[in-house]
Structure 1
């Protein structure tokens, strides 16, 4: 009796679930949701190829150093890297003296419990990048993990940095013009139109606005696109500084598992070869 009741209850809930799904699907077909400016004009990240992307890919240390230069000279005024210590920069090719010089260029807040005051001192290699006190509107995000926190990762960051556009006359891939379809979608004062941002309007003005905004010491031409890719690669490293080591370990583990599986199969065939059918 209990089994019959359980079957009936399960059947009831299954039918209720199917009815709810069918009713929702029918409603969606009859009255599809109205198109929004975000749905029609938000762009997916551009296709970028970074040296660390593939399973065998590794970081390009020269690119990481260029990216750090862009971060330091362009982004650091508004965005912190609180998860990164200055001494971590040795992993991308800086020596001890260079790391000390970088750290000294930052002021580290120090709280004095006796007076309640916050003073500052020069940074040390063991310090993390200090928080940024931003005087403008909004709260710029910390960039330590930004490529892990955004769909598209480094490609999203690079696309966003190079994606600022004039909203007037802007068309999507289907040729639809934004302000003709959505006159009320005009970017408010104080915001900037960027189709790669989720709601199309972002509070951050274009940080990389022109070529040669920074000077690369390795002779690389500092175009807007190059600087965007370099700082995106650097932020990939800040989010996953052990990526190269993880890939190396992963391949070693896969090799061991393949060897162990082959050995186990051969042992199985050897042990049971003459015993099948008994």
Structure 2
């Protein structure tokens, strides 16, 4: 046996395994459809997706409008400050407009004390978080029939798509996600949840009292009523140039919540490309230096 023979056998085994994975992967979608393809979460086209994606400022502004008019009735954004709405890389509203928004926000800051130690409520300012209607979890549960509306600051990072495909297809999907830079599983899940309500529920499904059927939510029974409706969409400003629709509302508010969960995405991606360029230039210079230093040495 030659020295190259073991290497050839290993290469053949790896090639066979990869071919087998691709063959098995071809049956993955068919099995998924047989198991209930209606529950599959489709990947959306996001402006911030991939290695070079960036947030769409206009979309973030529309998304905040949806949050303000719909979501803020129950949910807070405790990790987002009003001033963040005026910072580059986000909605980038004018500072004066954000100041006016803060002082007219319907919910006041609680838990602070005046000079005499008495508890007070005050209007929020630029440095304050975007709070919701409830002062504590007990109050929220009492108002929502025992359900606790989650804070939406990190909701997109806290959720993702659960892959239930066979392991060969799962591995190939993971490799594809690495190559394409796919990190939008949370955004796809939130969008799927907002658009995944069914009324009436499928035949044979018994719903608990106060629950709503959602094809994406685990268990399919969700305490939150549909926040968006096809019959009553949130209309955008005429100058936005975008026609309001149920799907557009869901897409825009999901993009805004993605920004709330990762506000440094734009600057981080720019820095990443700068670092790669730096490493490329450094590699070329080191190679040229090596050639110059060792060019006179006989090998």
Q: Same fold (TM over 0.5)?
A: yes
State the shift of 1:267 in Å: 1.4
Are 1:96 and 2:95 counterparts?
yes
Q: What SS class does the counterpart of residue 70 from structure 2 fall into?
A: helix
How far, CA to CA, are the matches of 2:251 and 2:119 in structure 1?
37
SS in 1 for 2:216: coil
Q: Which has the larger radius of gyration?
A: 1
Please give the alpha-carbon distance, in whole angstroms, between the structure 2 residues aligned to 1:259 and 1:101. Answer: 48
- 8 Å CA contact 1:110–1:121 kept in 2: the answer is no
Aligned partner of 1:138 in structure 2 is 147
Distance 1:65 1:168 in 2: 34
Cα contact 1:84–1:238 (8 A) shared by 2: yes
| TM-score for the superposition, normalised by structure 2 | 0.70
Q: Which residue of 2 aligns with 1:60?
A: 56
2:73 and 2:132 in contact (8 A); partners too: no
Distance 1:70 1:257, change over 3 A: same
Q: d(CA) in 2 for partners of 1:70 and 1:249? A: 31
Asked whether the equivalents of residues 90 and 96 of structure 1 are also in contact (C-alpha less than 8 Å), the reply is yes
Distance 1:202 1:276, change over 3 A: farther
Aligned with 2:218 (options 198, 202, 212): 198
Partner Cα separation in structure 1 for residue 298 and residue 79 of structure 2: 60
Q: CA–CA distance in 2 between the matches of 1:45 and 1:209?
A: 19
2:187 matched to which residue of 1?
Answer: 154
Aligned residue-pair number:
226
List gaps (5 residues or longer) in structure 1: 1-38, 171-178, 180-184
In structure 1, distance between residues paired with 2:70 and 2:156: 18
After superposition, the CA RMSD in angstroms is 2.2
> In 2, are the aligned partners of 1:212 and 1:222 still within 8 Å (CA)?
no
Give yes or no for the alignment of 1:51 onto 2:51.
Answer: no
Q: Does 1:126 align with 2:127?
A: yes
Residue 83 of structure 1 aligns to a residue whose secondary structure is strand
- Spell out structure 1 runs of 4+ moving beyond 6 A: 113-116
* Equivalent residue runs for 1:215-226 within 5 Å: 215-217=235-237, 218-226=240-248
